[in-house]
Amino acid sequence: MKIIRKSAAAETTESPLTPPPRIKPWKVMVIDDEPDIRQLTALNLRGFEFAGRPLQLIEAASAAEARACLAEHPDIALALVDVVMETDDAGLRLVEYIRKDLGNVMIRLVIRTGQPGIAPERFVIDNFDIDDYKDKTELTVQKLYTTVRSALKGYRDLLTIEMNRAGLNHILNVTPELYNLHRDKLEDYFRGLLIQIIGICNLGTSGLISTIDGLVLTMEGQDIRIRAGAGDLEADPANEERRKEIVALCSQAVTVDQLPTQLPTHLPTQLRDGALVVPLQVHGAVIGFIYLETHADISASDLELIQIMANQCAAALENFHLHHSLEESYDEAIDMLGQVAEFKDSATGTHIRRIQAYTHRLAVALGCSETEAARYGKASRLHDVGKVGIPDSILRKPGALNEEEYNIMKRHSLIGDSILARSSSLSLARAVARSHHERWNGSGYPDGLSGEKIPFVARLVAVVDVFDALVSTRPYKGPWQAKEAVQAIAEGSGRNFEPRIVAAFMTLIESGQLDDLIVAATQPPEPAAVLA
């Protein structure tokens, strides 16, 4: 599928909702305390255009007025600055304010003076960050034209460099996580690519830096989500209606491989003259598109570069989908193994689900990110998966285990480790299965680990596993009161459990954030599952 472009000659019917083509003028500020100079400058620049864009002149009669104008118009491209105004060096002090206080390195500054003896050219050029120095007597109509044009060209080129730098910065920040992208990271990646595309369109062409609008979209089944926008198509409630219509039109365009000529009656034409629709394809299937608006021709080489960037978008989407497919497979594996444990021992089936919730909440309370806490919670579901290798007579014995039976029961941690060792993606769950019965003082099993040698996730599960077992009904015991179980956990701090984790657990208990899980633990156990 090729890039689809709307010709300026295409017959369209602009609806009242369709904004007219947006061509922003170059903003030029004339700072001079002589009204005649400001008026003459405006007269000499009448009808001036650069790169298809007109000028918007902003006048200031003093340095103080200029500061106010700069605050109101941060996108001024060029300032023609008189030196002598309120004071003999007011213009030079204004230059310092712009460069140092405002930190504005983009605006082009041209000093104009009628009294060159007060501010000698070499001194000013050597000591102030200006772009040109002119005696007012030099500025004939032609020289003023040349000065303004050169300054605007420099401003445009600096913006192009900055836009490409910003886009590249977005991309480089996200690229290391390209194979572990979450939706917000993917949007950052797309935003960087879009900025790069807009910057590329300015290379070898004129004035596209502020006359391009664009948004990157993806289609996932019937769901189309806007990923990144620029110009008139940035995320803004005021633009929502137009964005929806563009989505509908571009969807039709990439489906039939041409811009729509006959539209549904409820959709006004929204694709402006010169619009580009660039399909995003993976293995021949269209998974999205980029829509760009421009008011100037784009060269063949730039179109080729845009397509390359579109391919990068498509590759990022494919990696995103593959990554989440793997995540879903991992979750399914966790769930299936968890169900095996539930089938084996119905008394601990609901216990497994509660342990996941306990672990998740405790991890968050200890400062873990939501993503990390979710991983710990999933891994905790398999802490007792090794019980599939323990005889039912021991698992369901309605009484205390003797020493021989207890030694057999302890083997479940090694059995779980052996089961989960077959997949590297289950390494976190494997650490839980093997080490959740280790104790902070080294008196646990199977390895006698102590302190921080015990995996962090296993230290979390050690606390919540014991607590939930105490408040639950088991074949060999009735439920403890929550108060008694909390006391047992507190007494185990520094011996069985890490003190920091116990403290966080106590805070959750006292705040009532675990009440729902405690209530659920007191419910009668579910009937044992029967396998056909």
Neighbouring residues of 302: CB distance < 8 A, sequence distance ≥ 6: 200, 201, 203, 204, 205
- What's the one-letter identity of residue 238? A
Give the distance from CA 479 to its chain's centroid: 47
Helix (H) or strand (E) holding 111: strand 108-113
Q: Cβ distance 262 to 289 under 8 Å?
A: no
Active site residue 387: yes
Token pair of 89 as six digits: 């060096």
Complete edge-to-edge strand list for the sheet that includes strand 4-5: 4-5, 276-282, 285-293, 213-220, 223-230
Catalytic residue among 185, 244, 387, 483: 387
CA atoms within 13 A on the CB side of 299: 10
CA 154 to chain centre: 32
Q: Yes or no: say if 447 and 438 are a contact pair by the CB < 8 Å rule.
A: yes
Q: DSSP alpha helices (H): ranges in 115-258?
A: 121-127, 141-174, 183-202, 240-256
Q: Could you identify the residue written with the tokens 């769901």? A: 223
- CA distance between the termini of the chain: 53
Q: How far apart (Å, rounded) are the C-alpha atoms in residues 458 and 479?
A: 24
Domains and CATH numbers, the chain: 4-17+160-322 (3.30.450.40), 26-139 (3.40.50.2300), 345-521 (1.10.3210.10)
Q: What is the DSSP letter of 451?
A: G
Q: What angle in degrees, to the nearest 10, is found between the helix axes of 349-365 and 370-380?
A: 150
CA–CA gap between residue 331 and residue 333 (Å, rounded): 5
The CA distance from 150 to 60, in Å, is 22
CA distance 455 to 437: 11
pLDDT in tens, the chain (532 residues): 456 665 544 444 443 334 444 567 899 999 999 999 999 999 999 999 988 789 999 999 999 999 999 999 998 999 999 989 999 889 999 999 999 999 999 999 998 887 776 777 778 888 888 888 888 777 778 889 999 999 999 998 887 777 666 655 655 555 555 445 555 566 666 766 676 676 666 533 322 222 335 666 666 554 556 667 766 677 667 777 777 777 777 777 776 665 544 434 344 445 666 677 777 777 777 777 777 777 666 667 677 777 777 777 777 777 777 766 776 777 777 777 776 766 665 555 577 889 999 999 999 999 999 989 999 998 998 898 898 888 888 888 888 889 999 999 999 999 999 988 887 878 999 999 999 999 999 999 999 999 999 999 999 999 999 999 899 877 667 789 999 999 999 999 999 999 999 999 999 999 999 999 999 887 765 554 433 2
Other Cβ atoms less than 10 A from the Cβ of 523: the count is: 11
* d(C-alpha 342, C-alpha 360), whole Å: 20
d(CA 210, CA 231): 7
> What is the C-alpha separation between 168 and 428, in angstroms, rounded?
35
Q: Determine the Cα–Cα distance for residues 373 and 428; give it in Å rounded to an integer.
A: 12
Q: Please tell me the distance from the alpha carbon of residue 335 to that of residue 380, in angstroms, as a whole number.
A: 11
Q: Which amino acid is at 53?
A: R
Is this model's pTM higher than 0.85 or not? no
